[in-house]
Amino acid sequence: MDVVNKVLPESETRPEISHDDGDRERFAHYVQKDKITESAVTGNPVIALCGKVWVPNRDPKKFPVCPECKKAYEELMK
């Protein structure tokens, strides 16, 4: 089989988007609502208030809120 023309499954072609040590994977993060919608349509990563960069793909209601995002949000609301 010609390797140049081989079609790889999506899991083998999508890059790892998360750029941190994984500790923030346990939390739901604050991101601008329009950016979440855009990411759902385009697949582009989003940036949380705490700086985490990733493509959202899970239900945030199942996780506690990121303390760094919460603190940043509270500072913005002052």
> How high does pLDDT run on average in the chain?
79
Does 5 fall in a domain? no
Does 19 fall in a domain? yes
pLDDT at 12 over 80: no
The predicted model gives 40-57 an average pLDDT of: 92
User: What pLDDT digit, counting tens, does each position of 29-48 carry?
Assistant: 999 999 999 999 999 999 99
Does 9 fall in a domain? no
User: What pLDDT digit, counting tens, does each position of 1-11 carry?
Assistant: 444 545 555 54
For residue 12, give both structure tokens. Answer: 């083998």
Query: What pLDDT is attached to residue 20?
Result: 47
Does 6 fall in a domain? no
Answer left, alpha or beta for residue 43, where phi above 0 means left and psi between -120 and 50 means alpha.
left
Does 47 fall in a domain? yes
Number of structural domains found in the chain: 1
pTM: 0.65
Domain that holds residue 63: 15-76
Asked if 42 contacts 17 with a C-beta cutoff of 8 angstroms, the reply is: no
